[in-house]
């Protein structure tokens, strides 16, 4: 089973969340206050998701097509991490620090605040 976290405010449309390959397991409201930068809202809706492992790559593509610039989402299964940006997906074996750093560098290069690149 894959699991993940998607911020509602990061999505162009929340329609992707009704895909039957995505199950929402929990929602939380986060008041991020000073952690948000000027172009971000101060309150975020964290949506925890899960689904069958065989769907993770398709779901990563769907999220990548819907996520806004300067945001990212995470999905993972037992062995692989997916860091999903707009039109760009990094997937790497858990523990692969080099690819993780490459994803963080990419996020920084497109304007994701460095302190939010904390997966």
At residue 21, the pLDDT reads: 97
Q: What is the mean pLDDT of the chain?
A: 97
Q: Residue 110: its pLDDT value, please?
A: 97
Global pTM reads 0.94
| Burial (CB count within 10 angstroms: exposed 0-12, middle 13-18, buried 19+), residue 96 | middle
Cβ-contact 117, 104 below 8 angstroms = yes
| pLDDT at residue 109, as a whole number | 98
Phi-psi region of 16 (alpha: psi -120 to 50; beta: other; left: phi over 0): alpha
Q: What is the pLDDT of residues 24-65, one digit of tens each?
A: 999 999 999 989 999 999 999 999 999 999 999 999 999 999
Domain ranges of the chain: 2-112
């Amino acid at each position: 089973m894959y699991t993940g976290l998607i911020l509602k405010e990061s999505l162009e449309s929340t329609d992707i969340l009704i895909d039957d390959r995505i199950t929402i397991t929990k929602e939380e409201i986060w008041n991020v206050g000073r952690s948000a930068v000027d172009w971000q809202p101060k309150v975020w809706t964290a949506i925890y998701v899960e689904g069958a492992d065989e769907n993770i790559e398709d779901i990563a593509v769907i999220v990548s097509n819907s996520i806004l610039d300067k945001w990212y989402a995470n999905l993972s299964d037992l062995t692989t991490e997916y860091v999903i940006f707009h039109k760009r997906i990094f997937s790497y074996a858990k523990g692969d620090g080099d690819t993780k750093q490459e994803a963080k560098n990419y996020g920084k290069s497109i304007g994701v605040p460095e302190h939010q690149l904390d997966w």
